[in-house]
A and B are shown apart, each in its own frame.
Chain A
Amino acid sequence: MTRFTLDKVRKTFINGEVKEEILKGINLSLREGELTALVGASGSGKSTLLTIAAGLQPASAGQVLFEGENLTTMNGEQVRKIRSSKFGFVFQFAHLVPFLTVEEQLLLMLEVSESKTKKTEQKKEIDKILTLVGMNHRKNAYPATLSGGEKQRVAIARAIIHKPKVLFADEPTASLDSTKSKDVMTLLRDLTKSLNLTTLMVTHDEEMLFYADRIIKLSDGMVLGS
């Protein structure tokens, strides 16, 4: 079932007198329980497309529809609310909050998403998710003491703790070695299935495409094929 639709999305950057069209009318539908990989050469517009879909920057034209709601007509606060409660993010770098323990990173996300769950239930949920990503034994650790792979696992746990419907992953394995990259990808694929997530991932690593249900190739701001 389609959860996310991009309809004729365009993005133009104006730099002085130079006008550069990064996205040239993208049409895309993302389904539940499906991991979609966006691939393309550098400058093809894949990261721009992901950030527009995630509501991190506006489109110049077109529509971004999430469960029938048009993100492009919403104000900043409305987009923030959807982003914090319905979307999850995994970035190239884990971007964990340096002064919070692993458990607190997840608690913060629940707080941001305005979760109504009681504290005791939240702790149980955190234990469950951390077990799922294999990090429950490090729940009291600070980011500085974690390895790159562990950080990325915590970042994934943070991205799904509030039960989002869409997971955006921007080069989630770029900073990891090949073994850890495979672990992280396996985890992302399994979570997409078990939690019925709609996952949109940007990657330049062709090895990671093995884990995707669908591959969309971008070139020069246009979809070449899927």
Chain B
Amino acid sequence: MNMAWKEMKKNKLRFLILGSIVFLVSLLTFIISGLANGLSQDNAALIKGLPEGHFYMSKDADQTINLSRIDRDVQGNMLKKHKEAVAFSIQMGFLNDEDEKQQSVAFVTSTESSVFEMVQKGEVVLDLSMKEKGIQVGDSLTNHQYSGKFIVKGFVDQKKFSHAPVAFIHSEDYQEMYRVKEMQLIFVPGKDSIGAVTGLDVFTKKQFLNTISSYKAEQTSLNMIVWFLVVISGMLFGIFFYMMNVQKMGLYGILKAIGVKTRTLFHMMWTQMIIITVMALMISISLSQVFNRLAPKDMPFSLTIETTAQLSSVYFIIGFIGATISGLQIKKVQPLQAIQQGEV
């Protein structure tokens, strides 16, 4: 007999309250997690979209991308040794459209590579978000530090850096605008590091992301909120089940007296925890996915199925631990005490 389900059916309100809290907290967790991922994408989609590899930056830049200058000989040697390596630079700047409306962008240029967009002199390839701002293929854009005009050659999706859309330009145009011959960074694809290079710092992708200004602070804060919510949910599970168990001590005692196994009582509690969690998560996952699709374009929001599945698993584990710890008192219930107390 499914006592767990029968109890839930008879005490709908009590379980509805618990379910609602799990639903609300999990929805909040999913939404904040979506925002964290969205901001992360908005801040570093250009880097996150690159394959696994290692980044090199000049040592004297002290982990600040803008200050990095890689000696041209060093760059030449590295690119010669590692055919798939690419040197690139990133600088924040502005592009003016035909109406002189200024758009903030991150200019990116690189040596010949398949991981970055290649453009000819005087051309620009933009992140797709620029299209939503009214810019079209064939438009000519200007920059106060550039003598010519950039012709828009196309758009690419998910290429953002430091919350700005990326504008891929030719290295000669870049050099004219920023008056530098050296590239800032070298990226070497591949899981294994090629080792240390004199005068350069090496970073994994994860380490490199943290050198992007604001990325670490943003992600640390948001992830802390997400995990804080997960822990709160676990505690809520524990407290709610504890309160319910305290109320049911008499009942548990009588059930034990007539011969119900302690294990059966734990199964009853776990079944209730699983039913509540599944129902609450199903609703919050559905709503968060609907939000994922309907969220305003300006709002950086990205909630993948993988993240949702990971968080849901954590919820199950935390819920299980919370319910089990609170349920340990079931083990201590003495049938005799329950019998001697009044009606359950």
Contacts and interface: CB of A to CB of B under 8 A. Distances in A.
Contacts of A107: 1
Interface of B: 1, 3, 6-7, 9-11, 250-251, 254-255, 257-261, 335-336, 338-339, 342-344
Task: Classify the interface of chain B: helix, strand, loop or mixed.
Answer: helix
A56 B257 contact: yes
Given A99-B7, A142-B10, A111 B1 contact: yes
A89 B338 CA distance: 13
A179 to B, nearest CB: 20
B344 A95 contact: yes
A99 B1 contact: no
Nearest to B344: A95
Given A56-B339, A84-B258, 13 more contacts: A56-B257, A57-B336, A80-B259, A84-B260, A85-B259, A91-B254, A93-B343, A95-B339, A95-B343, A99-B11, A108-B260, A112-B260, A170-B339
Contacts of B342: 93
Contacts of A93: 342-344
B255 to A, nearest CB: 7
Given A94-B343, A98-B251, A104-B1, A89 B6 contact: no
Contacts of A132: none
Contacts, number: 65
A94 B9 CA distance: 22
Contacts of B258: 83-84, 89, 109, 112, 158
A98 B344 contact: yes
A51 interface: yes
A99 B260 contact: no
Closest 8 CB pairs of A and B: A84-B259, A99-B10, A95-B254, A93-B343, A99-B7, A112-B259, A83-B259, A56-B336
A98 B339 contact: no
Contacts of A104: 1, 6
A108 B339 contact: no
A34 to B, nearest CB: 23
Contacts of A89: 257-258
Contacts of B1: 104, 107-108, 111
A108 B254 CA distance: 12
7 contacts: A84-B259, A91-B254, A92-B339, A95-B254, A95-B344, A97-B255, A109-B258
Interface in A72-116: 80-81, 83-85, 89, 91-100, 104, 107-109, 111-113
A136 B3 CA distance: 22
Interface string A141-164: 010000000000000001000000
Nearest to A93: B343
A100 B258 CA distance: 15
B85 to A, nearest CB: 68
